[in-house]
Chains A and B, each alone.
Chain A
């Protein structure tokens, strides 16, 4: 114990229970339990994330259709809603507002829908990066950043325009590349 240098202990961050972070994380998963999108607003290890995901997916999938959209889970409140084959599921803190969170989910779905044009699960699978970009424009650090649908989509469309410009400037790619073999 005398030598200070000897001991080290690894530090794992734990689920923080602070008052101001509204949302702890958001998960999108299918009826088959496949995770389609995950966004964590608190620092957690990959192991913990996987454990939480597994438990929650099971819990939510086990619930019947007419049940209420809120449930207590560990120290958190889970707010979830099903849209077609996808479950949107948010974890918020004890004092947080369940109904407004439910509408956060809905607004996000609206944003996806507007962007992809009647969105379906496949859109989110194949364009997962877009789903993340849209989410970041809407929610940042677990808090609503911009609730106007118009403004969020404007930001994303501007970014898409930038992409188009960039694409035109690129050199043509090989044939192999075009058919996706690399």
Chain B
């Protein structure tokens, strides 16, 4: 029985809850619940009209049953009835039931909206709040349609009660998240911003969340909030702990509001107004100072609230990344926390320092804490804290401390938790590669990795070591000697056998002079592992054997004998059998010359970004580590390892990809699609069938070569301090090739016209563009990010010189003559320091920029759709969603495409249809588009029909990259 029964207890409910609690088994509970459900159902169906109290009680019981985890399929109507009760208590239960149980597409939504409307206009603040809470809890599109116009008025009206304002602000925030297109602040903007000045702290606390959200989407319109936020913050920070009465929390004035203010400021660059900025810096300094003061209370709540503000302030300092003094102070403060007795603080300090490590101003300061962090890695009892320590070591690593950090991480690996081993392995592999000065250290490190944590060494890691060894003559002999030694261990990991087999097959000759590692010894050593290995490794070993026959003719008869044995030549595995047969035949009929040609040493791999980075990033999710750029390009390595002639082919493809940015190269390097079959998890949807079909006639061949699970994010800004440490994979000698990422960049601009086209450590190129009919104008902004001059800039009409920190603008007029697929290239050359920099970028001009939107009714749409029914007029693509399938984002993107988004045309409301006309000088091309999301399979089907086939095809290609 309840200890307290406040308000009006519902006795029947309490008894029911007691009954449930007394049930000895799950079965008994279910029985009791079914009995209750039957009872309620009969009451609801009964002839006798139920009074409000009973209805409320039964609805509440249903809610309880639902919250226990059982399904409820009735009672919704009764709950809706309660909404229009004039008794508060009944209304309240009705709203609670609706908030918890009604999903947004319920048919009842109209009735619910009606009740809400009545309560909103009741002018009774408690009723209004209930209604607003309900909207905020459900937050459906229908509600947005019904109330998005009304709520801003309630929010800013002079006679609205404070509590209603608070609910209205957060309610609006929720609706804005659901349907940003429906929430138009327009005329209210400035009054909403001025809520920051409201006398009631609660109103400010609620309103600021709304303002932060709106600022993030429309920073310019809400710019004035910066100075208001700074002065509000300044008043709070400098207030005595008692000034704010009930908003003071354990002697900390308004901690929630302070954090929200600091968060709002993170939507903007540092204030331009000197006075505002000065005031803000003062606030930040005060916050840092307060961290040093003795605590006003021993309670953990006091220190938590205080430090919550401190960490948010540090986030802002990092966000600005322009105040070296504050950055270093922040770092020192965090350094103290590293040894704090509170685990939570140690965790947060490690986490926060990771971001500080990427700032050039504080990188060195972070590095001074290396011993503490290493110690944390070794001694923290909580794995999540150790994980943070490993992250920070990774972030603070540079050439000066790489050997120490890698060694520490390696030794930690031996005892590391299973949950973080794979990530640790990737990190060690990346650091070893990135900061390798001599490659024997690199090879040692990777082999150690395999020895210590072989199970966690993914393909990417051992592919990479082979790539590097093959590409670098100076390390090949050492690698051969080291793997040979490693293989002598009685138990060695299969990954070691793979690396060993590959390397000895290529470079075994380099150590064959030593009788201890003569060809036969090498072969016997490898072959002694053969029977322990899986099929793919055995296949690799067979390829190594045939390479041995070429390298060392004296091993020929021994190896032929092995190949000839029944266990090889009649192996039940087709791949192994085929290799055995083919290699045997090859070795017996080919002349030495032919053999030498066929089995020649592998050509160097095309230089590519490390695929390990991609893997790590995928594991961690974007933004988690400050790794460099990355581009997937690994599969070829795998194929090569597969051995034999197949390898040759794919390496040729890889090579051509590296040198020509042809459309087919995109497929390999940049486009990301899942392997075409078996990707859709749940069958049964129509999409799946079509899907496999599409795979066949599509670019199946190239797609097969794609890595199966690759994320599309191929570009991360390069962190400072990394440029000098070019790993072997970063191409530096040849400045001319068009950026491999330029297609990716192009894709970024399909649905928008402004943004950053290119950015590296030196230069940032921003773009603004506008289009009308077949004409366009593009403004390019070249920003010099360094402090020195770029001279001899050759991007024609620009000034031939860009001052440090300055920006130069270039205008390009564009006329679309006819439809096109390739984007125009922009070549940029300039001198930085002594070195000539040469960039080649694709200008983000795509055919869709010349769309004129066309509105049409459903009937017209289908008529035109039918008219465009020739097979070549239609292009279709089925592809996997790269981003969350958010309706609003999709709409925004489709609008950005330039077509008209037609509402109420497609019978399925989840689908999108668009219409538009592309204006070129030569002709006009009408296009219709349909996009069908399948949320279950996380796939889209996109169909484009246009009067011109090339246009359909191009639009389809462009759009397929956008979602």
Assess whether A97 is in contact with B15, with CB atoms less than 8 Å apart: no
Assess whether A143 is in contact with B933, with CB atoms less than 8 Å apart: no
The yes or no answer to B496 lying at the interface (CB within 8 A) is no
Assess whether B384 is in contact with A129, with CB atoms less than 8 Å apart: no
Q: Enumerate A8-39 residues with CB–CB distance to B below 8 Å.
A: 8-22, 35, 37-38
Question: Which chain A residues lie closer than 8 Å to B936 at the CB level?
Answer: 9-10, 12
Partner of A70, one of B174, B344, B381: B344
Partner of A67, one of B174, B216, B343, B869: B343
A7 to chain B, nearest CB (A): 5
Closest A residue to B89 by CB, please name it. Answer: A163
- How many angstroms from the CA of A162 to the CA of B130 in the assembled complex? 13
Question: Which chain B residues lie closer than 8 Å to A9 at the CB level?
Answer: 685, 687, 908, 910, 932-937
Report if A148-B304 is in contact (Cβ < 8 Å); known contacts: A133-B96, A166-B89: no
Assess whether B89 is in contact with A98, with CB atoms less than 8 Å apart: no
Partner of A103, one of B308, B686, B935: B308
- How many angstroms from the CA of A169 to the CA of B89 in the assembled complex? 12
Assess whether A159 is in contact with B3, with CB atoms less than 8 Å apart: no
> Per-position contact with B for A29-69: 1 when CB-CB < 8 Å, else 0?
00000010110000100100010000000000000101111
Assess whether A116 is in contact with B6, with CB atoms less than 8 Å apart: yes
Assess whether A100 is in contact with B256, with CB atoms less than 8 Å apart: yes
Assess whether A180 is in contact with B15, with CB atoms less than 8 Å apart: yes
Assess whether A147 is in contact with B249, with CB atoms less than 8 Å apart: yes
Assess whether A122 is in contact with B170, with CB atoms less than 8 Å apart: no
> Per-position contact with A for B240-268: 1 when CB-CB < 8 Å, else 0?
00000111010000111101100100000
Question: Which chain B residues lie closer than 8 Å to A95 at the CB level?
Answer: 315
Does more than half of chain B's interface fall in helix, strand or loop, or is it mixed? helix
Assess whether B212 is in contact with A129, with CB atoms less than 8 Å apart: no
Question: Which chain A residues lie closer than 8 Å to B781 at the CB level?
Answer: none
Question: Which chain B residues lie closer than 8 Å to A35 at the CB level?
Answer: 67, 69
Question: Which chain B residues lie closer than 8 Å to A140 at the CB level?
Answer: 132-133, 136, 166-167, 170-171, 174, 206
By size class, the interface of chain B is 35 or more
- How many angstroms from the CA of A14 to the CA of B15 in the assembled complex? 38
Assess whether A129 is in contact with B60, with CB atoms less than 8 Å apart: yes
The yes or no answer to B605 lying at the interface (CB within 8 A) is no
Q: Which of B260, B347, B384 has the most CB of A within 10 A?
A: B384
Assess whether A146 is in contact with B11, with CB atoms less than 8 Å apart: no
The yes or no answer to B77 lying at the interface (CB within 8 A) is no
The yes or no answer to B907 lying at the interface (CB within 8 A) is yes
Question: Which chain A residues lie closer than 8 Å to B17 at the CB level?
Answer: 125-126
The yes or no answer to B528 lying at the interface (CB within 8 A) is no
Assess whether A129 is in contact with B206, with CB atoms less than 8 Å apart: no
Q: Which of A94, A132, A177 has the most CB of B within 10 A?
A: A132
> Per-position contact with A for B117-129: 1 when CB-CB < 8 Å, else 0?
0000000001001
Partner of B205, one of A16, A144, A178, A181: A144
> Per-position contact with A for B260-298: 1 when CB-CB < 8 Å, else 0?
100100000000000000000000000000000000000
Q: Enumerate B620-634 residues with CB–CB distance to A below 8 Å.
A: 621, 623
Question: Which chain A residues lie closer than 8 Å to B51 at the CB level?
Answer: 170-171
The yes or no answer to B84 lying at the interface (CB within 8 A) is no
Assess whether A100 is in contact with B255, with CB atoms less than 8 Å apart: yes
Assess whether A14 is in contact with B136, with CB atoms less than 8 Å apart: no
- How many angstroms from the CA of A64 to the CA of B90 in the assembled complex? 43
Assess whether A6 is in contact with B11, with CB atoms less than 8 Å apart: no
A26 to chain B, nearest CB (A): 13
Closest B residue to A125 by CB, please name it. Answer: B17
The yes or no answer to B301 lying at the interface (CB within 8 A) is yes
Q: Which of B39, B103, B170 has the most CB of A within 10 A?
A: B170
By size class, the interface of chain A is 35 or more
Question: Which chain A residues lie closer than 8 Å to B690 at the CB level?
Answer: 1
Q: Enumerate A153-182 residues with CB–CB distance to B below 8 Å.
A: 155, 158-160, 162-164, 166-167, 169-171, 173, 177-182
B282 to chain A, nearest CB (A): 22
- How many angstroms from the CA of A180 to the CA of B2 in the assembled complex? 14
B914 to chain A, nearest CB (A): 13
- How many angstroms from the CA of A118 to the CA of B366 in the assembled complex? 45
The yes or no answer to B93 lying at the interface (CB within 8 A) is yes
Assess whether A66 is in contact with B343, with CB atoms less than 8 Å apart: yes
- How many angstroms from the CA of A162 to the CA of B936 in the assembled complex? 46
The yes or no answer to A84 lying at the interface (CB within 8 A) is no
> Per-position contact with A for B170-183: 1 when CB-CB < 8 Å, else 0?
11011001000000
Partner of A130, one of B7, B39, B173, B686: B7
Question: Which chain A residues lie closer than 8 Å to B64 at the CB level?
Answer: 128
Report if A122-B2 is in contact (Cβ < 8 Å); known contacts: A19-B216, A99-B344, A106-B301: yes
- How many angstroms from the CA of A5 to the CA of B304 in the assembled complex? 57
Question: Which chain A residues lie closer than 8 Å to B89 at the CB level?
Answer: 162-163, 166-167
B956 to chain A, nearest CB (A): 14
The yes or no answer to B441 lying at the interface (CB within 8 A) is no
Question: Which chain B residues lie closer than 8 Å to A103 at the CB level?
Answer: 249, 255-256, 301, 304-305, 308
The yes or no answer to B519 lying at the interface (CB within 8 A) is no
Question: Which chain B residues lie closer than 8 Å to A171 at the CB level?
Answer: 51
- How many angstroms from the CA of A70 to the CA of B43 in the assembled complex? 47
A158 to chain B, nearest CB (A): 6
Q: Which of A6, A144, A158 has the most CB of B within 10 A?
A: A144
The yes or no answer to B163 lying at the interface (CB within 8 A) is yes
Assess whether B685 is in contact with A133, with CB atoms less than 8 Å apart: no
Closest B residue to A127 by CB, please name it. Answer: B2
- How many angstroms from the CA of A136 to the CA of B170 in the assembled complex? 11
Assess whether A4 is in contact with B685, with CB atoms less than 8 Å apart: no
B237 to chain A, nearest CB (A): 16
Question: Which chain B residues lie closer than 8 Å to A167 at the CB level?
Answer: 8, 89
The yes or no answer to B697 lying at the interface (CB within 8 A) is no
Assess whether A143 is in contact with B209, with CB atoms less than 8 Å apart: yes
Closest B residue to A173 by CB, please name it. Answer: B53
Closest B residue to A49 by CB, please name it. Answer: B69
Question: Which chain A residues lie closer than 8 Å to B862 at the CB level?
Answer: 4
The yes or no answer to B589 lying at the interface (CB within 8 A) is no
Question: Which chain A residues lie closer than 8 Å to B74 at the CB level?
Answer: none
- How many angstroms from the CA of A33 to the CA of B448 in the assembled complex? 43
- How many angstroms from the CA of A12 to the CA of B935 in the assembled complex? 6
- How many angstroms from the CA of A129 to the CA of B66 in the assembled complex? 13
Question: Which chain A residues lie closer than 8 Å to B103 at the CB level?
Answer: 43
Assess whether A97 is in contact with B259, with CB atoms less than 8 Å apart: yes
Question: Which chain A residues lie closer than 8 Å to B8 at the CB level?
Answer: 163-164, 166-167
- How many angstroms from the CA of A34 to the CA of B213 in the assembled complex? 35
Assess whether B884 is in contact with A94, with CB atoms less than 8 Å apart: no
Question: Which chain A residues lie closer than 8 Å to B69 at the CB level?
Answer: 35, 50
Question: Which chain A residues lie closer than 8 Å to B92 at the CB level?
Answer: 129, 133, 159
Assess whether A67 is in contact with B381, with CB atoms less than 8 Å apart: yes
> Per-position contact with A for B672-697: 1 when CB-CB < 8 Å, else 0?
00000000000001110010000000
Nearest 6 Cβ contacts at the A-B interface: A180-B15, A126-B2, A99-B308, A100-B308, A20-B213, A162-B88
Contact sample, A vs B, 12 pairs, CB 8 Å cutoff: A7-B908, A8-B908, A16-B884, A95-B315, A103-B308, A126-B14, A126-B17, A141-B137, A145-B206, A146-B206, A148-B202, A170-B53
Write the residues of chain B forming the contact surface with A, with a CB cutoff of 8 angstroms.
1-8, 11-12, 14-17, 21, 39, 43, 51, 53-54, 60, 63-64, 67, 69, 71, 87-90, 92-93, 96, 100, 103-104, 126, 129, 132-133, 136-137, 139, 163, 166-167, 170-171, 173-174, 177, 201-202, 205-206, 209, 212-213, 216, 245-247, 249, 254-257, 259-260, 263, 301, 304-305, 307-308, 311-312, 315, 343-344, 346-348, 381-382, 384-385, 387, 621, 623, 685-687, 690, 862, 865, 869, 876, 884-887, 906-908, 910, 930, 932-937, 943
Write the residues of chain A forming the contact surface with B, with a CB cutoff of 8 angstroms.
1-2, 4-22, 35, 37-38, 43, 46, 50, 64, 66-72, 75, 94-95, 97-100, 102-104, 106-107, 115-117, 120, 122-123, 125-130, 132-133, 136, 140-141, 143-151, 155, 158-160, 162-164, 166-167, 169-171, 173, 177-182
Q: With contacts A66-B381, A68-B344 known, what are 16 further pairs, Cβ within 8 A?
A: A8-B908, A9-B935, A9-B937, A13-B935, A15-B884, A69-B344, A100-B256, A103-B249, A120-B3, A129-B60, A129-B93, A147-B202, A148-B247, A159-B126, A170-B51, A180-B12
